Structure 1
């Protein structure tokens, strides 16, 4: 119906034109309306302010590819008629090279049919004099046709009739042609548009309409011929793209019409903007695209460059895999996975996931998406065709992928009448005179029924389930509606957005395998300390239990146990209880105070850790919190600990998985325990060293001799209230063996340290050995703790002991038994005093 702004319909382009002979002129309105053409003249609305009828408004923008030495000709019916009328030309660099308000007028229908003159050609044959531009830079030029005024052009004209150029936004005739370098022929098929903003005027829309023919060139190299076949939306928009209407969130095609013409932002790609990796505006040509078009061209186009005439690419798919959203090949969670495959070209895909069991284990699911050339990942949400999550276990399944090529969509906005249907024909790329297919598809479910005229039949002609259509010939039923209707309101397309599409299918690619679906309720079932009141120097042992409540087995589930500041690791044990194992053994990170491991937990299995820590005086007084966590592995659903946030990322943090579980309740994967209470009594480190020496008669002669030994033993006691570590003993008289050791409060060690001393004569003369040892250690704060030895022998000066040495009253004295003794031997020798040889009185005995 016509409102103040009238309706529009966006058709993905339509209609092409007769075959162009070598003597033909011009690419433009003459191709739409050759001599004798019936129906209405749909003419340009050239004004940049968008309306609901013309949402993609522009100044009649056209693009033309030209080579150096060729000549571009430009003309329109609005030139030289006053107002704002003009023609602009922009070079490939984007620089404006023409802004002409007077030349290049197509004055009437006779001139339109005759076409432009060659460069320098004299007047004659009713040909008009265009604007000329000799090409010095190869590339794509942009042409803008500006109308006299800005008002909506509402006058209707028959296609083969003359016209009157009014002071509005309409341009009734237009032309962009290319003259060859020898100036003796026109090169057709070089001019294209991305969108045509058109008007049929407002007269008798139910009895006549637009019958123009256009050609569509797709990015993957295919050519369509489209006959508008008399449709009439009064004010309307023509465009052709590869996706039709889009899901606003995913930007994937929805393959469906919409029951509105408002609020469409993000639901269709703007043809005045550059293509992206998913959204492609197919190109509309008045003639068959020229054979000499390059594959790509740079120029005054959106984005600075664009595709042109590519070689045909068949829609083939290879290397199909099913990969979980977290990256596990062949395994998924209830978050689903990706269908991964390699596509030979870009295009939309249909993916069928179905059970191969009998009876079937799940309802078949069809997913549509967009593929780019190369490796693709199409997201599947893990649900079957009824929206039910896949059952846990090993599920035999088949995945079939069909890639669609040469895809074109023709959306109509507020198109009241399509009584004869739109004829859409795919041409044989080996011989463009032949038609390969005229099949079309649509899905109008959800569109309100009309009060005037007919609805399409069938309502759902989609290739997707549930209709699973193989298409309908557009020559017999090109998506008809409005038959028998009258007026401009209440018709099926009134205030609706109606999509018609077609494509070719490549060969199906499929995989048949066992789909592994894992669901496991992991939990921390217990944290229990062996004591609840602690002071510095204590040890406390926590028993931590982890359980898998199934139903699936899991491998490599990350486990952590965090201890508070002031607790130091001592030891731990693991018990698999006959079912669980450590895929990665427990280890401790001092920087984060965290124990971590990875666990293999079969369904129903519970494992146990016993973790012992020591308590230091740096612990903060009060309740001590320890925390244990268990995290689902990649591509496993934990019913209460699987994040639903997007974008989807593998699980790395149990807090994120729990906080975003979508249940509104806490999970059982994280457990805190604060039962243990620390009392911060003052630290009082202390140590006592007792040294005992024992004489050893090395040669067993019962006497103290030089070389005999003294054996020393050392008793070390922790007399303080904190643990001591790195305890060692030094003695200036001997080398002490053993240590270092650690001692808890009140602990005693009398076996770790020993020493041996060898006696000297000075020691024997002195009757004892005097010496002093020193014990050194560290408290929990790394402060030194020392003690000089006390004697374990009898005190000096007591019976049997040497006296105390005033210089070392604390020395350990080891007494040496005294063994005094003497022997006298007397010898007499006679001496003959007078030498007479005889013993005489007076001789001597010496």
Structure 2
């Protein structure tokens, strides 16, 4: 003191309060767990106690923190490391958390921020489905539903969506992660689609991200119910009912199915007629007029039966049939129709007798023993 007296010895104790520093982890693969050694950059003063690492918002050190819709934060009480495990399908950056830690003397650190950043993932999904699985007629409407989904973790903009078959061409201005856009479009079936047997329809979504172009597509196939069929009808128009006259017929061939038919061979043997119909659309028809000359044999038989035939032929290779239908082929469809024409039979007989006197002695008088000559005409 001022008089020169010396006090007793006193002990000065300095206790350092631990300082926790913010932690971050970047460049992580989406949908994977991330471990951070949060104590590695902390100024802890005295010996650190890893068992005291506590996530702010939990009741006790070591308690896990579950963030709904994101994932779970856990603490390793041996090392003090903090792990974030995302929920299945979650690929975004989680909400940052804070933690504290104690030193050996029980001093509590400040709250430090923990941030995890995942790599950006741009990903687009597209699905397309029709409201029917089959079709069978021209003019039938097929409705398509197209769903475009942003399955990444970044917002995508100016997504081009085209469907060439239905002439759909639109732009989706913006699509946030995990959101979808539903687009409806339709198509009217053409006869060529029925003939072909199926409709393959594709939708394409294209977008640009970080100066790179991306596109995804999906297709839907709808099959045709093909029912090829044909009919032939033969009609007797007139009957002269006399030898040397004519039987006049009309032959009508109709495509009664739902597909276009090709190379239809029409034949009427007794009329000496044949023809080839190169192409006949559904409900289309071709009409032919033919005649048969009436003979005495036909009248004697009383009735005459005549048949017309129509065949759909598939010729092999590159062969084209001529008017007589020559060439190798397979009969795909065949039909026929017959009609009976009858004649009036009028059986009758006449007898004419003519007699001539033969003047054998040339005296100009008939005498006993002379002859009369008779002629019978039936």
TM-score past 0.5 threshold: no
- Larger fraction in strand: 2
TM-score by length of structure 2 reads 0.37
